[in-house]
Amino acid sequence: MSEIADLIEKMYGHHYTPQTISNMSKIISENVSAFKNRQLESRYSVIFMDATLIPLKRQTVSKEAVYIVIGIRLDGTKEVLGFTIAPTESAFVWKEILQDLKGRGLEEVLLVVTDGLKGITDSIRSVYPNAQFQQCCVHVARNIAHKVRVSDRKEICGDFKHVYQADSKEEAIKQINKMTEKWKKQYPRVVKQLLNPAILIFFKFPPSIRRTIYSTNLIEGFNKQLKKYTKRKEQFPNEESLERFLVSQFNDYNQTFLGRVHKGFGEIQDTLESMF
């Protein structure tokens, strides 16, 4: 507290006592508690789940997983719903987060968009059994790129791009069939991955929002901003300091998008409501 008080005086020419700094910190900690415990709406059209790694000091410094959930309401506005911090990413922790969301009032979700983490589908279904699950197509493309020769990457990833950018599910299936015939001898493991039905779930939703929901790009973009801000600090000295930083960013995000309807969602509210 003394170091912070000295730093503020050097930067702004105004002196605060260590006790005042401590009081400020307590107020911010109350904001963290309020964010974690606030009530949520009962229905969300889509939730995006993704984890990002941020350096944190416990006894030693190590990058830990910050789990984040962003939801889009039926009216098309969006907000950060919840978060937690854990040493690594696991489906079990995601299940705990979803249980927390449900405990705070989120009863029904139409679609959950996330990567293909092992066990994640079971975690989602155990809390929201009626929710659809969309596996991020961008993550699938990255997986494909890692499983083929460098000389084939551009071509096979280009083929897969025609799958998730198709105008209809029927066209997407035709493209998958073409890819299967073309690549099954060289890369049978890749072809098997293409048969996962979770890749094409977004076609069940109106065309105006498909570009938003076939990947986790919406939340990954936000996570990149978080990491950009954290580069100003080499590490966070404890979990509480990281939580204070995160909640300040989440509150800014939620305030910014409180009245903004995400592209494509404004005109389909009635359609989404009818899908519950």
What's residue 31's pLDDT? 83
Whether 44 and 72 have beta carbons less than 8 Å apart is answered as: yes
Name, in order, each residue with C-beta under 8 angstroms of 34's C-beta and a sequence gap of 6 or more.
none
pLDDT(270) > 90? yes
pTM of the model as a whole: 0.89
263 CB-contact burial (10 Å; exposed 0-12 / middle 13-18 / buried 19+) = exposed
What value does the mean pLDDT of the chain take?
91
What's residue 1's pLDDT? 64
pLDDT(7) > 70? no
Domain range list for the chain: 1-37, 39-120+219-276, 137-215
Least confident of 5-19, 120-134, 169-183, 192-206: 5-19
pLDDT tens figures, 29-40? 678 889 999 999
Residue 274: CA count within 13 A, CB half-sphere: 7
What's residue 234's pLDDT? 60
pLDDT(103) > 90? yes
Whether 57 and 235 have beta carbons less than 8 Å apart is answered as: yes
Whole-number Å distance between alpha carbons of 266 and 76: 6
Amino acid at 243: E
pLDDT tens figures, 214-239? 999 999 999 998 888 877 666 688 88
What's residue 21's pLDDT? 67
| Confidence class for position 143, pLDDT limits 50, 70, 90 | very high
Whole-number Å distance between alpha carbons of 54 and 40: 27
What's residue 227's pLDDT? 85
Mean pLDDT of 82-103: 96
Mean pLDDT of 189-216: 95
What's residue 235's pLDDT? 66
Least confident of 23-27, 101-105, 214-218, 263-267: 23-27
| Confidence class for position 27, pLDDT limits 50, 70, 90 | low
